[in-house]
Structure 1
Amino acid sequence: MSAEATFWAWRQGVKSTHKLVLLSLANCHNEANGQCNPSIAYISRSTGLNRKTVISAMEQLEKSSLIFRVKSAGSSNHFTLNFGQITSTENGTSTENGPGPKTDKTSTKNGTGPVPKTDHKSKRNLKEPKNINRGLDFSSWPNPPKDEVLQDWKKVRKATLTQTAVDNIANQLHLANQHGYSVDYCLAICCERGWRGFKFEWLLNHENQLQREPAPQDRGSNGNRRSRDIPITDMLIDTNW
C-alpha cells in the first residue's frame, strides 16, 4: 500500500465508480516497482462493484491516461499509475506540474494584471557552438536531452519538432523517469523503433519483448546478453481479462 498513490487517487475528479476502482488499485501499489497487480475479482470484492462495471471503469481510466495496462505473458496484465496526471473534471484533464504560459505582472493605474512576457535576445556570437535545442523549452521534461540524441530523433520524426510536441510528451517522460528510465534512453529507443512520439506504455512493451525474446544483436561475443543501462522489472501478475 502506498500513501502517495492513495492521496493521488483521492484527488482525481472522476465518477464515483471510477474513483473506487482507482483507490483499489492505489491500495495495491508497490512502491518498489511501481506496479499495481490486483485481480478483477479482488477489485470487485473491495469496491462492491460487479465484474462488468470494474472492467468498464478500468478501460475508462486507461483512456484518461490515469493508468497504464501492460501485457507481459499470455493474458496476464499489470498496471502502473500515472502520477503526473491530475483529472480536474469528469470530461477534462490537467497536469499538476505541466507547462503554462509565462507572464510578467506590471502595475497599472487600476491594479496589477498579467502581461505576456517577452524576451529580448541578443545576436548569437558566430563563434558560439551550434545548439540544436535553441528555441525549444524543455523545462517540462525531467531534464533536457543531449544534442546528439535529440538530433537523431529529429531525423526519425521527419518533421519539425515543435514546442507543442515537446510539451505533449512531458508527462510520459516523467512517468518513465519515475521508473528509472532517463530522457536520453527514451529518445534512443524512439530512434531504434522509429517512433515519432513517445508513450511510457510503448517503452514497457518494448522492454518486455526484449526480455522474452532476446535479439541476436543483444548478445556479445561470448553469447551472453549485453547489460542494459536500465534494469528490466518483472511484469508478470496473475490477472485474467
Structure 2
Amino acid sequence: MAAPRPRGIVSAVRAFARRHEIFRPGPIVLAVSGGTDSTALALIAAELREEFGLVLHVAHFDHRTRPRDAAKDAQFVAEIANHIGAPIRVGRAQRAPKSEDDAREQRYAFLRRVAQEIGATTIATGHTIDDQAETVLLHLTRGSGLAGVAGMRPLRDGIARPLLTIGRVETTAICKSTKIKPREDPSNRSLRFARNRIRRNVIPELARINPRVREALARFAEAATEADAQLNANA
C-alpha cells in the first residue's frame, strides 16, 4: 500500500477543521510531547496557520516519568518549534504523577496557564482517530453512558483536536516527509496500561473483522455525541 501523501493529509485536516470550526484567528497553544502525533500536529499547523490566521506557540510538559530522556525530549521539541518558527514554553511537574489521570491533570493545568499567559482561547492536541477508537473501546468496557462513548470532541472547553480525522499512519507519513524522527516513549508499549492493551491486542483483532474498525468506532462516537446532545436538549 502506498504511503499517504502529505498534501492530502493536510487537506483532510483542513476540511475537518473547517467543518468543526476548530481554529480561530489569533494565538493557539500546540501541545507537543515530541512523539509522532504531536510532532505532526506542529508541522500541519505550520502549513495551515496563514489561511486560518493562527499565531503558533509550542508548549512542552515534562511529567517527570522519563528522567533520563526529559532533557532530550525538550531539546527535540525546541528544535521542532524553531523549525516552524514558533516560541516554546516548557513546564515541569512539581512531582511525579500518581496515575495516568494525575499526569493528564498536571499537563492540562500547565497548558491552560500557557494559554492564559499568551491570550490563547484554544489548545491543540495531537489526538488521532486511533486515539478516538481506543477511547471509545475503553469507555465501552467500563460501561460508560452516551457521554463517555461519544469519545473526544473535535473542540470542547478550549481543547482542539484537529487530527481526529487522520491516524498514526498519516502522522508518521507527515514526519517522514520532513525527514524528522520523533521521540519514542517506551511506556506506550507497556501492556500494564489498559489503553496500550487495547491498542496492541484488541484493535488488531477487531481489524481482522473490519479493516476500517477505527473509522467505524469514530462514526459511532459521532452518533453518540449527537444522541447525547439531543437527550440533553430534551431534558
Normalised to the residue count of structure 1, the TM-score between the two structures is 0.29
Normalised to the residue count of structure 2, the TM-score between the two structures is 0.30
Question: Which has the bigger relative contact order, CA under 8 A and spacing at least 6?
Answer: 2
More helix by share: 2
Rg larger in 1 or in 2? 1
